[in-house]
Amino acid sequence: MNMFLHNINYDKFHIELGDTLLNPKLKDDKPFDAIVSNPPYSVKWKGSDDPTLINDERFAPAGILPPKSKADFAFILHSLNYLSARGRAAIVSFPGIFYRGGAEQKIRQYLVDNNYVETVIALAPNLFYGTSIAVNILVLSKHKADNKTQFIDAGKLLKKEINNNILTDAHIAQIMRLFADKADVPHLAQSVDNSAIAASSYVEAEDTREAVDIAVLNAEIKATVAKINELRQSIDEIIAELEA
C-alpha cells in the first residue's frame, strides 16, 4: 500500500501477505541488508499464551517474550532476526518502548548489551497520518564499529502544513548527516557509551526561555508593590469617609 501511494513500481518487489509474528514469510530469502518497518503500535499478540514462541529463533536470544498487550518488541526482534551481518534496519517505533519496564526493559538491555542499537531518532509530532504523537526511528545494526548508541533529537525539524507536519528534503538531509557523522552536536545529537545507558534521553534540550534581568525584575516588583500600597491606602481612605 505504501509503495502504491508513493508511485513506486511494485512489480519489482516480492510481496507476501501473512501474520508477521506467528506465520512469518520470506524466511527462505533472509537475511536482508536493508529493512524498513512501520509496525502497528502497541497491539496485542499471542505472546506467552503460546509457550512454544520462546523457542522461536527470533525471540529466544532475548530470553523473554514481549508482553501480550504490547507487541512492539516482537516486531523489532523479528526484523533483527531477518537482518544480515552487514545490514541495517530502520523501524518506526512508539516512544513508550524506550522507557517502559518489565519484559520490554529486559529486551532493551539485550539489544544494548549485544550492541545492536545504532541510533534512536526522535521525530516531530504529527508527521504520520492517523497519529499525532511524536514517534521515533530505531536503527539496528549488526556491524557497528564502536560500543556507543547515538541519540538524535529531530523534534524541531519540521514544516507545518494544514493537516500535519512534514519533513522537507533539507530536514532529511540534515538528519542523515547527523546519522552518518556520528558527531556530538549540542541540542541535536549525542553518542553515549553503552555501559552508561540508563535513561531514555541523552540529548540536552535547548533552553529557549527568555533571559531575565534580575535587577530590572526587582525594580518592576518594587514599583508594583508601591502601586498596590498606594491603592490600598486610597481604599482605606474611601472606607473611612463612608463610615463617617
- Summarize the confidence of residues 84-94 as an average pLDDT: 95
Name, in order, each residue with C-beta under 8 angstroms of 121's C-beta and a sequence gap of 6 or more.
Answer: 136, 137, 139, 152, 154, 175, 179
pLDDT in tens, 61-73: 999 999 999 999 9
Q: Cα separation of 186 and 239, whole Å?
A: 60
Nearest to 105 by CA among 73, 132, 77, 130: 73
For residue 206, pLDDT over 70 is answered with no
Q: Cα separation of 14 and 92, whole Å?
A: 22
The pTM assigned to this predicted structure is 0.78
Nearest to 70 by CA among 36, 46, 90: 46
For a pLDDT cut of 90, what percent of the chain falls above it?
A: 58
- Summarize the confidence of residues 178-200 as an average pLDDT: 87
Q: Cα separation of 69 and 73, whole Å?
A: 11
* Ranges 6-10, 49-53, 203-207: which has the least confidence: 203-207
- Phi and psi dihedrals of 68, rounded to 5? -60, -30
Q: Which residues pair with 58 in a beta bridge?
A: none
What is the assigned CATH class of domain 2-196?
Answer: alpha beta
Highest mean pLDDT among 17-21, 58-62, 236-240: 58-62
pLDDT of residue 228: 81
